[in-house]
Amino acid sequence: MPKLFNNSIILITGGTGSWGQELTKQLLTKYNPKEIRIYSRGELNQVEMKNKFNNQKLKFIIGDVRDKERLMASCRGVDYFFHLAALKHVTICEKHPEEAIKTNILGTQNAVFSALGNKVKKFIYVSTDKAVDPLNLYGITKACGEKIVTSANQIDNNTVFTCVRGGNVLGSNGSVIPLFRKQIETMNAITITDPKMTRFIFSLRDAIGLVIKACEMSVGGEIFVMKMPSLKITDLAEVMINELGDGNTKTKIIGIRPGEKIDEVLVSRYECDRVIDEGGFYIILPSIDIKAIRENYSKKRTSNIGEFTSKNTKIFSKQEIKEILKKYGFLNPDFKYTSLIGDLDKGQLDRIATKDKWLI
């Protein structure tokens, strides 16, 4: 059994979300931690997670990353800190920019200070493809978070600070796949913002695998990026209509949302000359000077990979999309929705898609 997290205390902000729960599951399955602290705002989600895991090693803490004192106290004795908490909905962040800034920027700053103040061994920040050449406020706040976390390596040698960039995860709370299924069942139609759109896609298990790999390998200042495939949204919609529709299911083009990109980017053209190819993933080295980076990567060759986007990676065929949907149960008759999507009726689905363009 790997020893990295054995007998250690781990803190996960936003720990009741899909990423946090999968991380908790893998930490309990593959390692033997002393304690995992789940830090989040929602008491109902904490109760549900506590009942689901039923493990005495889990300690649940109600708190907000905006509350620096609460976070600092919750970080006492922590060895490893995974910062997952964020406001993630693109449209909500556009409509409430001050709230996104308080949580995603100031909250990340609070998390970094808490880790420094408690001499945490390693701090892992989960970012997003939307932080690359950001077009929307959510992406801007996450890009700021990356800068805050990376620069923290210049402050103190006791804590290693590292970032992981993710893309769209199958089955996560923000996945479009269950929404498409619900739309077919309720509206007999799927709404697409732009038919040219492509999106990265990978499994939650693989996403958390990269997070743990980053914690194992990092020296401080790197950004870890998985070489993930992508799909065309129109192909996804066609496969789901063929598998779940009744022959009369339609596709509606509703126009692009504020802050939405046609293609996603995980490595920008400004970063591609600082990339180390590790086989299944990339490591982006920081633009600022960090001693540990110089010492540990001086003999590694960087490779100018060019911009890494959802348009120039491997794009799944329709048959591959169908196989993935089957593998993860999205085509099963007894598929279970989260309450976020499952409770919506036809009128609500139609309104959020065509009027508010508030797609989950």
Known catalytic residues are 130
User: CA–CA separation, 279 vs 226, rounded Å?
Assistant: 9
Tell me which H or E stretch contains 35.
strand 35-40
User: CA–CA separation, 286 vs 63, rounded Å?
Assistant: 31
Any idea what DSSP says for residue 287?
S
The DSSP secondary structure of 292-309, one letter per residue, reads HHHHHHTTSPP-----EE
User: CA–CA separation, 292 vs 171, rounded Å?
Assistant: 37
User: CA–CA separation, 273 vs 285, rounded Å?
Assistant: 9
The DSSP secondary structure of 150-167, one letter per residue, reads HHGGGT-SSSEEEEEEE-
Dihedral angle computed from the Cα positions of residues 291, 294, 295 and 298, in that order, rounded to the nearest 10 degrees: 180
Question: What are the tokens at 75?
Answer: 């970080």
Is-contact 285 314, C-beta < 8 A?
no
The DSSP secondary structure of 56-108, one letter per residue, reads TTEEEEE--TT-HHHHHHHTTT-SEEEE------HHHHHH-HHHHIIIIIIHH
User: CA–CA separation, 132 vs 257, rounded Å?
Assistant: 18
* Residues facing residue 60 across a β-bridge: 38
CA distances from 266 to 57, 131, 161, 167 (A): 35, 8, 19, 8
- Amino acid in the structure at residue 234: T
